[in-house]
Amino acid sequence: MPLDKISVTMAVRDVHNREKTMSRDLVTTDAAQAVIDAGLIVAAYNAAMKSQIVRYAVTSLFSDSPVIPAGSNVDAGVTMRAQLNGRAEKAATKWTDPLDAYIIAGGAVNTGNALVQAVEALFVTPGNIATLSDGEAIDGFLSGSLDK
């Protein structure tokens, strides 16, 4: 997908602990330069405001125009149950609009399907490239089912 833009989004906090966000598009299309530029933007605003920036994110926006398959539905989804890495607790993660290829009888997800395992590998440690929303890696998917 081609890069459309890079932006910085900043959370500004006041003395009453209230926050607002500000976003600015960056001129650069280089990721390393964007981090440097974002730091300069934050420093300039912090020097010019009473309220202060307490965190910021540099975001790259990519866009594409794929052919959307007939029958796709973003309201459909699956919930996968996972074993947290090195812990007894379990967690859940969801994704939108599952393929019929890995849905089996009763709406269960076939965790042995290669497509499901490719998603699982994103979160399994060692070697994970992503974590669940609360920053935790997993040992693997235990089960999954269609959302109702």
Average per-residue pLDDT for the chain: 95
Q: Are the beta carbons of 73 and 95 closer than 8 angstroms? A: no
Q: Is the pTM of this model over 0.85?
A: no
Query: Mind giving me the DSSP string for 84-147?
Result: ETTSS-EEEEEEES--GGGEEGGGEE-TTSHHHHHHHHTTBSSS-S---TTS--EEEEEEEEE-
Q: How confident is the model at residue 134 (pLDDT cuts 50, 70, 90)?
A: confident
Say if residue 101's pLDDT is above 90.
Answer: yes
Instruction: Give residue-wise pLDDT tens across range 13-33.
Output: 999 999 999 999 999 989 999
Q: Which amino acid is located at 7 in the chain?
A: S
Q: Over the range 111-131, which residues count as b (16 or more CB within 10 Å of their CB) and which as e? A: bebeebeebbeebbeeebeee
Instruction: Give residue-wise pLDDT tens across range 34-82.
Output: 999 999 999 999 999 999 999 999 999 999 999 999 999 999 999 999 9
User: How many other β-carbons are positioned within 10 Å of the β-carbon of residue 2?
Assistant: 6
Kindly list the strands in the beta sheet with 90-96, ordered across the sheet, starting from the edge strand earlier in the chain. 90-96, 77-84, 138-146, 108-109, 103-104
User: How many other β-carbons are positioned within 10 Å of the β-carbon of residue 134?
Assistant: 7
